[in-house]
Amino acid sequence: MVVVTGQNKVSGNPDDAMSSSDAEDDFQEPATPTATQAGQALPLLPQQFPEVIPLNVGGMYFTTRLSTLRRYEDTMLAAMFSGRHYIPTDAEGRYFIDRDGTYFGDILNFLRSGDLPPRERVRSVYKEAQYYSIGPLLDNLEDIQPLKGEKVRQAFLGLMPYYKDHLERIIEIAKLRAMQRKARFAKLKVCVFKEEMPITPYECPHFNSLRFERSESETKLFEHHCEVDVSFGPWEAVADVYDLLHCIVTDLSDRGITVDHQCIGVCDKHLINHYYCKRPIYEFKITWW
């Protein structure tokens, strides 16, 4: 934009024309204004929006009211359409948001009337609500299934700080073995145990006494590592071994990994007197294609 003031009028006389060097100086890239120049700079005009907003979200078209996009002031959409930021438009004049628009309709339905998506779309809409920072929608989605159950599950998994590391180890071992054997699948042994001490129906009385009265030397006798690839446990919660197995299989499946498992016995390592480890051992079969 060229601004002409009353003090610098351009004469029509050719003799008064600027030299080439002067012209180059006038058309140089403007520098970033300093603190003293900032007060003299012209303010940028806010972007003006119509009441009805046409949108292009990743190639999908929507139409809504400006007030709908601004319903919650602490969201990304409210900030985008506040007038403080420039939003590009497509060839048809629609305001363009560079984001997959598959679930944007669910976002608009919540902003319009508080409607929540059906259960099968909850997880996907939750991710979009995170992107657009729509706090009220996030709160509502976290309070319904399947996200509500996921919060309970994560509370249980929080008892095992190395859970995610163990999942990665399962994947890496299975991948390495399958590549070495040039095989479609790989098998590995996984130990999942809830109790730190060995226990069987016949050993409960001895176990309970040892548990509360054992010395440091006795404790070391029970410490060992089962001969498996990965070991989960122990933990203190109502959830049992089968609950953790369900979590492992579910999380591997969510990553696109096909897994089958079966119990193949227990660890028979002798510990002390008539005590043996007896932690259950499972065979995991990871199929890659």
The tens-digit pLDDT sequence of the chain (289 residues) is 444 444 444 444 445 444 444 444 444 444 444 444 444 444 445 678 999 999 999 999 999 999 999 999 999 999 999 999 899 999 999 999 999 999 999 999 999 999 999 999 999 999 999 999 999 999 999 999 999 999 999 999 999 889 999 999 999 999 999 999 999 999 999 999 987 655 444 444 444 444 445 555 555 555 677 899 999 998 988 999 999 999 999 999 999 999 999 999 998 877 767 677 888 999 999 999 9
Distances (CA, A) of 18 to 1, 9, 22, 29, 31: 20, 12, 6, 18, 22
98's CB contacts (< 8 A; 6+ apart) are 58
Domain ranges of the chain: 50-143, 156-198+224-285
Q: What is the pLDDT of residue 140?
A: 96
This prediction has a pTM of 0.65
| Residue 282 DSSP code | E
Q: Are strands 185-192 and 275-276 parallel, antiparallel or unpaired?
A: unpaired
Residue-level pLDDT at 17 = 44
233's CB contacts (< 8 A; 6+ apart) are: 160, 191, 192, 193, 194, 195, 196, 244, 279
Enter the tokens of residue 50: 């119509």
Architecture of domain 50-143: 2-Layer Sandwich (3.30)
| 3-class SS of residue 222 | helix
User: Residue 203: CA atoms inside 13 Å, Cβ hemisphere, count?
Assistant: 14
The separation between the first and the last C-alpha atoms of the chain, rounded to the nearest angstrom, is 61
| AA identity, residue 274 | H
pLDDT of residue 56: 98
Write down the pLDDT at residue 134: 97
CA distance 204 to 41: 83
